[in-house]
Amino acid sequence: MTLDSISSQRVLIRFDFNVPMNQGKIVNDFRIKQSLETIKVLLKNKNKLIIMSHLGRPKEGEYSEANSLKPIAIYLSELLSIDVQLINTLDEEISFNNYEICLLENTRFNIGEKSCDELLSKKYASLADVFIFDAFGVAHRKESSTYGVSEYLKTYPGMNIKHEISTIDRLIKEDSRPMTIIISGAKVSTKLVVIKKLLNKCDYMILGGGILNTFLKAKGYEIGKSLYEKDLVDEAENILNSELASRIIIPSDLLCESKNITKNIDIGSIDKEDCIYDVGETSLNEIKELINKSASVFWNGPLGFVEKKPFDNGTIEVAQTIAKHNCFSIIGGGDTLPIIENLNLQDQYSCLSTGGGSLLTYLEGESLPILDKLNL
C-alpha cells in the first residue's frame, strides 16, 4: 500500500520535529518543512491525522514548557493554512470536530516512551487505523512512538524517509568516484565506526572539529588547548597506521585562537596556548579542490566552531563549493543545516538528510528495527 491509497482513515504519523528552539521560537524549520509532502498527500485523501514527535530531552513523565510542542503546532498551522490542534495528554479525546490534524504533546512527556513500553505503544496504536513512520532522525531509536506502535498497527513509510533512504542507498551502492567524505564533530567516539567503514568506500576523507584534533594528537602534533578525546587517541593511531590511511587528508594549517587573538598557523607551529577552531586558508583551498574533482560528496558535521565567527568560514565555503559543483551530494547532521539554509543553498544538494545518529548507523550497515519492518 502507498500513501495515495490510504483514504478516510485515522492516520497516526511519527515525524521528527526535534528542531532547534530559542526562548520558544523555532530557530530552524527544515525538519518541519520536510513533513509537508506526507501531510498533504494524506489530507488530499480525506484522512484525519494524528502527529507525534519529541522535542529536546525533558524528564520522562513530567511536563516542561520549554519542551512543549505548542510552538510547533502554531507554526504548522501557519504553513498548512489550517488549524493544527494540540492534544495535551493521551487521555484527551481526539474528536476531529472543526479540525483535521492534531499534534500530540511531546512523546517524551509520557512514561515508558524511551523504554518502548508495551502499554504505551498500545495506547498510541488505539488512536488510529494505520501508522506512518516518517522520522529518519529517530529511526535508530527503539521507542514506543518510533517502533513500539508498529507492532500493533499496519505501518508504512512516509514520503521523506523513502526519498532519504533511496538517495543514501545510491551513495552506498553506486560507484560514484572519486568520492570525498567529510566527517566532523566534537566527539570521535560517535563516528569512529563510520570513519573505518567509509574509508573503504571513499577516495578522500576530510576530518574536522574534535575528531580531527584527536587524529592530530595521534600523529604526534601539538594541539594546545584544543578539544579532543584522550581515550581514543590509540584507536585513531591504529586507523592512521592502516593501509587506507593515505585517504585521510591531514590539513597543512589551522585557524586558531590564543588569548582572544585569531591566527592562521601551520600545523607544525601550534603551541600549548593555541586552540584549534577551524581549518586554515591553505587547507581550505585544498579541500575545495578535492570537492571540485569529486563525483560524489558525503558531508556530516560542520568543520569548525561555527557558533563563533570567523570560525564558521570553513563550513560556509565548503557548503558553497559543494552547492556550485555538479556532483552527487548528501549532507547530514543537524548542526550543518541552519548554515545551509541561511546561505539559501538547501535546494542545491542531492539530499539534505534529517538524520544524524540514524544516518551514521545506516551507513555503518547496522540494523534499524523500524526500517527493517518497513522493508527499507
Mean pLDDT, rounded, for 174-196: 83
C-alpha grid cell, residue 221: 602534533
Task: Tell me which of 187, 196, 197, 219 is the catalytic residue.
Answer: 187
> Quick check: 110 pLDDT over 70?
yes
> Which phi-psi region, left, alpha or beta, contains residue 215 (left: φ > 0; alpha: ψ -120 to 50)?
alpha
The pTM for the full model equals: 0.86
Q: Greatest CA separation found in the chain?
A: 69
C-alpha grid cell, residue 373: 519492518
Q: How far apart are CA 354 and CA 33, in angstroms?
A: 11
Percent of the chain with pLDDT over 90: 70
Which residues belong to CATH 3.40.50.1260 in the chain? Answer: 3-157, 165-363
**pLDDT tier at 187, thresholds 50, 70, 90:** confident
Indicate the range of 77-86, 97-106, 126-135, 259-268 predicted with least confidence.
259-268
> Quick check: 347 pLDDT over 80?
yes
Indicate the range of 2-16, 18-32, 188-202, 233-247 predicted with least confidence.
188-202
Task: Tell me which of 208, 280, 333, 334 is the catalytic residue.
Answer: 334
Task: Tell me which of 33, 112, 357, 373 is the catalytic residue.
Answer: 357
Any catalytic annotation for residue 170?
no
Distances (CA, A) of 365 to 116, 140, 193, 322, 335: 23, 12, 10, 26, 23
Strands of the 101-104 sheet, one edge to the other: 84-87, 101-104, 48-52, 10-15, 130-134, 154-157
**pLDDT tier at 105, thresholds 50, 70, 90:** very high
H helices within 6-148, ranges in order?
Answer: 30-33, 36-44, 70-80, 118-125
Distances (CA, A) of 265 to 185, 186, 254, 274, 309: 21, 21, 5, 9, 17
> Quick check: 163 pLDDT over 80?
yes
Predicted pLDDT of residue 151 = 96
Q: How far apart are CA 133 and CA 17, in angstroms?
A: 13
Residue of higher predicted confidence among 1 and 210: 210
Any catalytic annotation for residue 230?
no
Mean pLDDT, rounded, for 330-354: 85
**pLDDT tier at 119, thresholds 50, 70, 90:** very high
Q: How far apart are CA 263 and CA 267, in angstroms?
A: 12
Nearest Cα to 92, choosing from 109, 77, 78? 109
Predicted pLDDT of residue 194 = 82
Q: What is the pLDDT of residues 61-72, one digit of tens each?
A: 999 999 999 999
Predicted pLDDT of residue 191 = 82
Q: What is the pLDDT of residues 16-62, one digit of tens each?
A: 999 888 888 998 888 999 999 999 999 999 999 999 999 999 999 99
**pLDDT tier at 334, thresholds 50, 70, 90:** low
> Quick check: 342 pLDDT over 90?
no
Any catalytic annotation for residue 57?
no
Any catalytic annotation for residue 209?
no
Q: What is the pLDDT of residues 281-317, one digit of tens each?
A: 999 999 999 999 999 999 998 998 988 899 999 999 9
Mean pLDDT, rounded, for 120-137: 96
Predicted pLDDT of residue 157 = 95
Task: Tell me which of 31, 108, 123, 162 is the catalytic residue.
Answer: 31
| 374 in Cβ contact with 151 (< 8 Å) | no
**At a CB cut-off of 8 Å and minimum separation 6, what does 96 contact?**
48, 102
Domain spanning 165-363 has what CATH number? 3.40.50.1260
Mean pLDDT, rounded, for 200-209: 92
| 183 in Cβ contact with 195 (< 8 Å) | yes
Q: Which CATH superfamily is domain 3-157 in?
A: Phosphoglycerate kinase, N-terminal domain (3.40.50.1260)
Percent of the chain with pLDDT over 70: 99
Helix%, strand%, coil% for the chain, nearest 5: 40, 20, 40
Distances (CA, A) of 172 to 176, 282, 337, 352: 9, 31, 22, 16
> Quick check: 376 pLDDT over 90?
no
Predicted pLDDT of residue 27 = 85
